Homo-oligomer: A and B are copies of this chain.
């Protein structure tokens, strides 16, 4: 008998019919002799509807209140799922984040899991219950409700799996697994059977819809994560610590694992900044205070004591970021602020790049051969990222997918 944690996303729970289907899948897992804990997101577009409601009474809804409001979406879906399971004859019980022992920091809207007390879940499992946990939410030491930010249900699921020492955490979603590239952009993208935590972390940060914090948790607690479709019985992709890529040094290791793409990118350039110590801190601290994360940063070499500073933010943060930057740049003596939002991030990712050379030059050569201009470049140990024009993204991604030998047969998958 294994202990399995399953997570179902909002699109898998959009209607009563979806919920009944998922209840059937959960029941079969239980019937196979497993102990089952299920983490659910809010049904369909519930979260967006609640945000709309809040914005209809307040221009800038209070974040503490917003968290309580949004947490109701998962309370609804977990109780409905428990009811559906009970009507199929299973003993099921729903638990809120607080009841499930999810303790978080007090950063409303983007709280982090600070601790996990699995006692209540354990006692419900001991009573032969299927336990349905409301994802995306937790509670502070002062018993205020928090949410974990978009994708937070993934984090709940992995945290629960880690705390329960579950055999694995199964994340069911509307795609069949992790691909070598986004199949909507690269028709020859192939589904991976497995992928390492580090590679997945880079992919998740750079386009794949999986909360990076959940991958980190899986890595730290060595909890394997299976990503698979909630509607078919395909094998999905296993994210885990020891992949074939690490074991089988040679042909497989020495390669790029996938191409990541992201269009939620905008660029801000501050021109003619006087180059003196503290400029970067003065610029980026107020952005951090507003919860705006800055990604790629390029500072040109100084000419005559003045420099240009360019950086990217999420496109959805651009308006707020520009507002902050313009205010700060006035203190720099009227430096000019230029923004652009028709950009995209394109990355090659792979642990194979860790100790090898030639990947960057091959990437740049491939893009040049395809007449794609690189606006900015940034790298990590297992990733090289270029900022390119959004209109050239698909062509660029396909070219790199071919160049790094990732192409499979043309796929009909649309993600």
Residues in B neighbouring A56, C-beta threshold 8 A: 16
Residues of chain A in range 18-75 having any CB-CB distance to chain B below 8 Å: 19-20, 23, 50, 53-54, 56-62, 64-66, 68-69, 71-72, 75
In the complex, whether A87 has a CB less than 8 A from a CB of chain B is yes
A86 to B60, CA, bound (A): 9
> When chains A and B are docked, how far (Å) is the Cα of A69 from the Cα of B23?
17
Whether the pair A86, B99 counts as a contact (CB closer than 8 A) is no
Is A130 engaged at the interface, CB distance under 8 Å to the other chain?
Answer: no
Answer whether A87 and B69 are a contact pair too, CB < 8 Å, given A76-B50, A76-B53. Answer: no
Chain A interfacial positions (CB closer than 8 Å to B): 16, 19-20, 23, 50, 53-54, 56-62, 64-66, 68-69, 71-72, 75-76, 78-80, 82-84, 86-87, 93-94, 96, 98-99, 143-145
Of B53, B57, B87, B94, the contact of A59 (CB 8 Å cutoff): B87
Q: A54-B83, A64-B93 are known contacts. Are A75 and B72 too (CB-CB below 8 A)?
A: yes
Q: Which 9 pairs show the lowest CB-CB distances between chains A and B?
A: A58-B87, A16-B56, A72-B72, A57-B84, A58-B83, A69-B79, A65-B79, A61-B83, A68-B79
Smallest Cβ distance from A241 to chain B, in angstroms?
A: 36
Interface centre among A16, A68, A96 (most CB of B within 10 A): A68
Q: How far is the CB of A48 from chain B (nearest CB, A)?
A: 14
A57-B72 CB under 8 A given contacts A93-B64, A99-B143 = no
**How many angstroms between the C-alpha atoms of A62 and B53 in the bound complex?**
29
CA distance A77 to B86 in the complex (A): 29
Residue pair A66, B87 in contact (C-beta under 8 Å): no
Inter-chain CA distance A58–B62, complex, in Å, is 36
* CB-based contact A53/B96 at 8 Å: no
Give the residue of B62, B72, B96 whose beta carbon is less than 8 angstroms from that of A83. Answer: B62
Q: Is the CB of B80 within 8 A of A57?
A: yes
